[in-house]
Amino acid sequence: MNLSTQSILLIVGWFLTGGAVLGQNESKSDQPKQSTDRQSEMTRPKENHIYKNRENQDLSLQITKPQGWKSSDRRPAVVFFHGGAWVGGKPGQFNKHSEHLVNRGLVTIQAQYRLLKKTKQSTDPQIDKTPTPCIQDAKSAMRWVRSHAEQLGIDPERLAAAGGSAGGHLAAFLGTTDGIDDPSDDLSVSARANAMLLFNPVYNNGPGGWGTARVGNRFPEFSPAHNISKDDAPCIVFLGTEDKLVPVETAKRFQKEMQELGIKSELRLYEGATHGFFNFNKENGKWYHLTMAEVDSFLDEIKWTTQGN
């Protein structure tokens, strides 16, 4: 391809995406990859599995399998955690993202987890305001999926954690941080993610970061940004430049510290986008399409096949 042709294509792509500026690490494509199998493009039914019961509450996983799935497959899989400041939200936030990845051949899981009471301003030392139950459940969910890998037709060494905002914190915790296990878990099964897909994650809970009101001086236990080590999972982070909860500098620092240890760490910045920008919007799906195109590229780069087993 000569330079003039390439330039024309870039200009056309700019107009098609509404003139979006991606900032750091410009996108290779403005649309996620599409399956050529019309049947696979249909919404697949979800299976519900109870992975544990806590506080008289059944906690479930919504599992979606691709067209042509077989239990003998060893497909990559992604476990999604919804956002909501650890106090709200529910599985379903990532329905559209899940559908896209299923159409590319992955198994996807959306996890329910216990929510906290809105007591972060309480001064009662007897009240645990930390997201301990949320983290315990996220780790239990990953262990359940990995221990059922053969039943689910997935590769237990290609199990990613994904999430947005507080769910992004949980996904980042699974890829970086040890501890805070449910006492009833089988600790011989790893809860570690093999990759992280992080949508404006609140992953710095230290002084000045989001969530400090809940974790206080215990932030080293909870904050992924304070637990980076050379065995962490490769990751990609999506962040709007106008996000009021996650400063751009926080994301850049996280990427720098990961890369200094030799870990693949990608950061995609979206000019003018605010917190929660990545959610699918029927009226304007620009950010969804841009971020999912980058998810496709990232999964290809880490050599996770996304077609078949």
In this predicted structure, what is the pLDDT of residue 32? Answer: 54
Confidence tier at 34 by pLDDT (50, 70, 90): low
Q: Using CA atoms, how far apart are residues 193 and 143, in angstroms rounded to an integer?
A: 10
Chain centre distance of CA 150:
23
When mean pLDDT is compared across 41-50, 132-141, 164-173, 290-299, the lowest value belongs to 41-50
Phi and psi of 71, rounded to 5°? -65, -20
Q: State the pairing for strand pair 107-111/57-64.
A: antiparallel
The model's pLDDT over 81-130, given as tens digits with 9 standing for 90+, comes to 999 999 999 999 999 999 999 999 999 999 999 999 886 555 566 568 99
In this predicted structure, what is the pLDDT of residue 205? Answer: 98
Name the nearest CA neighbour of 94 among 230, 86, 84, 51: 84
When mean pLDDT is compared across 3-17, 37-51, 79-93, 280-294, the lowest value belongs to 3-17
Cβ neighbours around 183 below 10 Å, total = 6
In this predicted structure, what is the pLDDT of residue 208? Answer: 92
Structure tokens at 199: 């949508």
Fold of 25-301: Rossmann fold (3.40.50)
